[in-house]
Amino acid sequence: MKITLKCSVALLCLAELAFRAGAQITVPIASLPSVIGAYNLSYVRTNSDVVPLIGQSGSNYWDFSQTQSSSDSVQRMDIVPITDGGNGASFPNATYSQRFTGGIYPTPAWEYYQISNGVGRLYYGFYDAQSPYFDPLVVFPQPTIDLPDPVQYGHNWSRQLDYQLYDIFGGTEDIAFTENATVDAFGTLVLPGFGPLQALRFTAIDNYDFTEDGLDLGTQVDTNYVWLVPGMGLAAEVIKYGPGGSQPFTNYFQRAFLSPPVAPPASVSLALGPGTAILNWSSSTNGSGYIVQTVTNLTITNWTPVAQLTNLSLVVPTAAGTKQQFFQVTAQP
């Protein structure tokens, strides 16, 4: 049997072929940035014409590669410990936080998460001091799964969440939140500083019902278009804000232009045993773990996952009756 090991860098060419063919991808929840120290930078603008950006259902080519314009500000997202900012005790089950600075954030903001393989990303609440009239700390009564595992084309999900905001006058604003989301598009996404990327886009309709002390304060309905890329997570986003809320913008557009990758294993070795392939590799800087995948034909773009692990070796049974088999080892952010 011929068994060949391909490194991550060489696979970039294969990925580009998949883009041209309009291949659909799957985004495992473990591929989202969740390792302390990871970060990305995005261009952000508001109150612009977002209609031409959205595309259609099914296969698309989205070109968001334009350079920074005068209306673009820069937002930074950092993966930080839950203790960053001083509110980690309110989120004891969260394992990391996303800290946002710049962009539309006049002050830093934090969101608290946990990755649960096979379940999704659990969202526990946030700290956001943009409004001077509300307590910036919001702890959800129970975590909400804002992204399932995995995210695939054609999938849909719904979620509901009731939570409260406390104002400086001693009042309590109750928010009944519902979301209905559908992964309705896939294709090639081009961002500034990146080549073509395989992406999924999901559309989420978010409904907010506001009441305070039993008084109905109205409803706001926002439409979200989110582009997901494995290893990068949220690569681009368009939000069309509905009337009825306190949001000062009509819409929002974000697109990443820098997302430092995790280096692939520097060296990988392959040996054959009786009916097995023995893989060994060196550690990757800032990587949280490794994914081993296999195919029997390099014209196939859908690699089959073999294992997701944190150690540096694996013994894999070889496929019976095949003349060749290929393996790849990639580092997770």
- Each residue's pLDDT tens digit, 197-221: 999 999 999 999 999 888 898 999 9
Residues 252 and 275 in one domain: no
Is 246:288 a contact under the CB 8 Å cutoff?
no
Q: Which of 53, 61, 52 is nearest to 23 (CA)?
A: 61
Name the pTM for this structure. Answer: 0.74
Least confident window among 5-14, 38-47, 308-317:
5-14
* Domain count of the fold of the chain: 2
CB 28 within 8 Å of CB 230: yes
Nearest to 286 by CA among 39, 23, 3: 39
CA angle 177, 179, 184 (to 5 degrees): 165
Cβ–Cβ < 8 Å for 19, 198: yes
Inform me whether the pLDDT recorded for 326 exceeds 60: yes
Q: Are residues 139 and 249 in the same domain?
A: yes
Distance CA 228, CA 202 (A): 8
Q: 3-state DSSP call for residue 108? A: strand
Domain finish residue from 232, 258, 284: 258
pLDDT tens column, 35-77: 888 889 999 999 999 999 999 999 999 999 999 999 999 999 9
CB 209 within 8 A of CB 222: no
**Is the residue at 27 inside a domain?**
no
Shared domain check, 222 and 124: yes
DSSP state of 318: P
Residue 242 backbone dihedrals phi, psi, to 5 degrees: -85, 165
- The strand order across the sheet containing 2-6 reads 2-6, 324-332, 289-295, 304-309
Q: What is the mean pLDDT of the chain?
A: 85
Give 2's pLDDT tier (boundaries 50, 70, 90).
very low
Under the banding of pLDDT at 50, 70 and 90, the label for residue 284 is: confident
Instruction: Give the CATH number for residue 322.
Output: 2.60.40.10
**In terms of domains, do 102 and 237 share one?**
yes
How many Å apart are CA 135 and CA 275, to the nearest integer?
A: 61
Is the same domain home to 246 and 285?
no
Q: 194 and 123, same structural domain? A: yes
Q: pLDDT (tens digit, 9 = 90+) per residue, 166-186?
A: 998 888 999 999 999 999 999
The answer as to whether 25 is a domain residue is no
User: Tokens for 288?
Assistant: 């949280």
Verify that 251 and 279 share a domain, yes or no.
Answer: no
Tell whether 151 and 276 lie within a shared domain: no
- The reply to whether 229 and 276 lie within a common domain is no
Sorting pLDDT into bands at 50, 70 and 90, what band is 12?
Answer: very low
Task: Give the chain's end-to-end CA distance (angstroms, integer).
Answer: 33
For 325, the enclosing helix (H) or strand (E) is strand 324-332
Q: Which domain holds residue 95?
A: 32-258
